[in-house]
Structure 1
Amino acid sequence: MEIVVRRLTKSDWRSVSRIYKEGISTGIATFETEVPSWQQWDTKYVSVCRFVALIKGKVVGFAVLSPASKRQVYKGVAEISVYVSNAFKGKHIGETLLKQLIDESETHGFWTLQASIFSENIASINLHLKCGFRVVGIREKIGKLYGKWYDNHFLERRSNKIDLC
């Protein structure tokens, strides 16, 4: 099974929004409860670091970055989001997307990538650890969804290609 990764475009939105909706329905992928419009989504994510994974021409996952802050001093810090269609989990798609996103982020000057992952989402935590992230801490009861409090593991990855001295 060949995984093809390419840049995400507006024409991918239908597939991306479907995969995002699947993530919402798990209850441990995001605190969002509804899929936003393309315009809202497009505004939120960094335009140069957006990818989709395809198998046999079908979009089966995506990875994007959102700025950690609008302040100029944090211009090289971004939060990562990786989603894989339920039907294609366990096939290294997330890993392929995450590695591509890491490489591309460094090309565009991002020195720190961070991820806030539901503590119950062990597969996502393990994926990030495998790709060079480290757990910085656990944010206890950071958000409440449908009446239940959730903890998030907070992870980060520092670039080893960008000089931080």
Structure 2
Amino acid sequence: MRVRLATRANAAAIATIYNQGIEDRVGTFETDLRTEAMVASWFDSRHPIVVVEQDHEIIAYASTSLYRQRPCYAGIAEFSVYVRRDWRGRGAGRLALSHLMHECEAAGFWKLVSRIFVENTASRRLMQRLGFREVGIYEKHGKLDGVWRDVVIVEYLFTRNLAQVERSPR
């Protein structure tokens, strides 16, 4: 497996993988499938996106997006990780997320955050292995297919970047 920064040319493959996650109902509240054009719009920001390839095919990705609009949150990114169905459980998600973490630290982010369905034990295990902290649970955070779902809030602090922000005169 090889990991690298994603490009707009990867939008179709990323959309396919994300749509599998939407269809499987284990990782997102989203129910509307994404198009290549929708995913291509993700590349209009400073937020890193990485892909994992095997034999020149994209098998996983990890992406970041804006956490909140307010300037005080500029160093926080929300993240997601998705793996193609036939590659789940084989290390592609870990490779994608660990590389994304490296890219985010290099870009100056001080925190990554996400929410995970409480019953998604594979994702929760991955977060623990990579040093994420489970902050708490949002109960009845949203409905998916008419059923209330709870989510676990996870975060990862980049202490070096956080220390730089703390020394900043702002």
Shift of 1:65: 0.3
Structure 1 spans left out of the alignment, 5+ residues: none
CA distance in 2, matches of 1:72, 1:148: 35
Matches within 5 A, 1:1-165: 3-44=1-42, 46-162=45-161, 163=163, 164-165=165-166
The one-letter amino acid of 1:11's match is: A
Shift of 1:44: 4.7
Give the number of the structure whose residues are more often helix, by fraction: 2
Contact 2:18–2:34 (CA<8 Å) still a contact in 1?
Answer: no
Superposed CA deviations along residues 101-137 of structure 1, whole A, max 9, x for unmatched, are 1111011111010110011111001101111100000
The one-letter amino acid of 2:114's match is: A
Identity, in percent, stands at 34
CA distance in 2, matches of 1:92, 1:60: 11
CA distance in 1, matches of 2:66, 2:76: 6
Q: Which moved more, 1:155-164 or 1:89-98?
A: 155-164
CA distance in 2, matches of 1:119, 1:90: 18
Structure 2 spans left out of the alignment, 5+ residues: none
CA RMSD of aligned residues (A): 1.5
CA distance in 1, matches of 2:13, 2:141: 30
The one-letter amino acid of 1:18's match is: T
Q: Give the TM-score, by structure 2 length.
A: 0.90
Shift of 1:160: 2.2
- How many residue pairs match? The answer is 163
Q: Give the TM-score, by structure 1 length.
A: 0.93
Superposed CA deviations along residues 13-39 of structure 1, whole A, max 9, x for unmatched, are 221111111101111211111223344
